[in-house]
């Protein structure tokens, strides 16, 4: 089952005027940040779309899927959109917000979490304490809208890549494990339930995804 999480257009839509983007800026500060003991909770997603190129008619869904990756500010390596999970939103809503802020995309979020992974922020890779350690919940987002103007457009580049290439571009092992779960999800395989996320997300409607329809056609 997939769900469409509504993003408030008043709070999350950009208005483009010429080369100017306004009024929304990405959320800043951590006054609403969620923590699990000393672990900072983050949420993110693997944005994806079906390649409709007429030259690729493979019935293997994954051969026709591309995922969206973004650069980190000041770095060239590619990652998936993610960021702090705040206390006024569900994990799914946080993942949708980060996808909009960092990658400028909206879409249909699958309510089955790909998993949860613990990792360090890039600035604390060599630290010995728990400080700087994140606990990240990842989802799959089927992109239905790609915006030209979005909050972090000037600080990040975005790139659509085939799933196989994404494995090579991932900087961290946990990202490749998230891709493994993503592939299992698209193939209809069972994904282990994340206990903390067993409650249904708020503000959602059930909607069949294009990937579901493609599987049915094959």
90-143 pLDDT per residue, tens: 999 999 999 999 999 999 999 999 999 999 866 544 544 456 799 999 999 999
pLDDT of residue 197 exceeding 50, the answer is yes
Scan for tokens 């209809």, then name that residue: 188
Instruction: Please state the pTM of the whole predicted model.
Output: 0.77
Token pair recorded at residue 202: 């708020």
What does the pLDDT look like over 161-184, one tens digit per residue?
A: 999 999 999 989 999 999 999 999
- Going by pLDDT thresholds of 50, 70 and 90, the confidence category of residue 202 is very low
Q: Who contacts 155 (Cβ-Cβ below 8 Å, separation ≥6)?
A: 73
pLDDT band at 16 (very low <50, low <70, confident <90, very high): very low
């Amino acid at each position: 089952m997939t769900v469409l999480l509504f993003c408030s257009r008043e709070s999350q839509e950009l208005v483009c005027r010429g080369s100017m983007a306004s009024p929304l800026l990405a959320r800043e500060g951590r006054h609403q940040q969620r923590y699990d003991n000393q672990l900072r909770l983050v949420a993110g997603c693997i944005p994806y779309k079906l390649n409709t190129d007429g030259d690729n008619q493979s019935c293997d869904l994954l051969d026709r899927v591309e995922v969206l990756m973004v650069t980190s500010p000041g770095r060239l390596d590619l990652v998936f959109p993610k960021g702090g999970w705040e206390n006024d939103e569900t994990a799914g809503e946080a993942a949708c917000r980060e996808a909009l802020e960092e990658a400028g995309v909206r879409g249909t979020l699958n309510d089955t979490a790909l998993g949860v992974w613990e990792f360090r922020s890039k600035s604390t890779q060599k630290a010995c304490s728990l400080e700087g350690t994140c606990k990240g919940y990842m989802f799959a987002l089927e992109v239905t809208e790609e915006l030209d103007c979005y909050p972090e457009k000037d600080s990040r580049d975005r790139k659509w890549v085939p799933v196989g290439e994404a494995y090579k571009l991932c900087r961290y092992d946990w990202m490749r494990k998230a891709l493994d779960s993503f592939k299992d999800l698209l193939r209809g395989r069972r994904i282990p339930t994340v206990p903390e996320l067993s409650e249904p997300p708020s503000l959602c409607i059930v909607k069949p995804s294009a990937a579901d329809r493609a599987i049915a056609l094959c």
